[in-house]
Amino acid sequence: MCVAIARWPIGHTIRPASAIANAVPRGENRRLPVSLDVPHLVVEITALADVAVAAVAVRRWASREGLDASTAAELATCASELASNTMRHGGGGRIELAAQLDRVIMRAGDRGRGEVAALRERLHEVRSRPQRPSDEHGLATVVRWMDEVEVTERSGGGVEFVASRLRARRRR
């Protein structure tokens, strides 16, 4: 298992040029870009124990990014759920996080043979129905606590989830 955190000089914030060029002014109601050009945190998932490591690493990263405790806990839970799915269904992979402008972006990729069409149907089903008690874990938690969740097939095999949310805590 490997955890890597990018560090920059104090007072400097690295923002990928693509994120700045594609930024949408506040209040404008169009889809924000979901890009992870420069991950700030990378956690390799090679064993189920790495799921807990991912949750702790994400919570600490979120705290360093200045996010409130509730947002940090939600991001850590989402990372834990995605890391668990990555290990259980995909044989391992990695979780990456980045902070861009006013968003946090999380990407989880695995090495499995997941069926992207079935996963997209599952995401649509979770989004389109009322919340249920069974929604306290898995993708339903990620869908509930993140603003956007997309699933694609990775080149070379595997599935990739990209989820994003505003840095500020959303009102529910």
Picking from 1, 38, 4, the residue whose alpha carbon sits closest to that of residue 18 is 38
Residue with the larger pLDDT of the pair 71 and 101: 71
* High-pLDDT (> 70) share of the chain, %: 71
Domains for the chain: give ranges and CATH numbers: 36-166 (3.30.565.10)
Mean pLDDT of 75-96: 93
**Residue 114 has what pLDDT?**
76
Q: For residue range 53-70, what is the model confidence (pLDDT) as tens digits?
A: 999 999 999 999 889 999
Strand order in the sheet with 41-45: 3-5, 41-45, 93-100, 103-110, 159-166, 148-153
Residues 150-159 as b/e (b if ≥16 CB within 10 A, e otherwise) read ebeebeeebb
pTM: 0.74
Give the type of residue at 18: S
Picking from 127, 126, 137, 124, the residue whose alpha carbon sits closest to that of residue 81 is 137
Calpha distance 131→145 (Å, rounded): 12
The band of 11, judged by pLDDT with boundaries at 50, 70 and 90, is very low
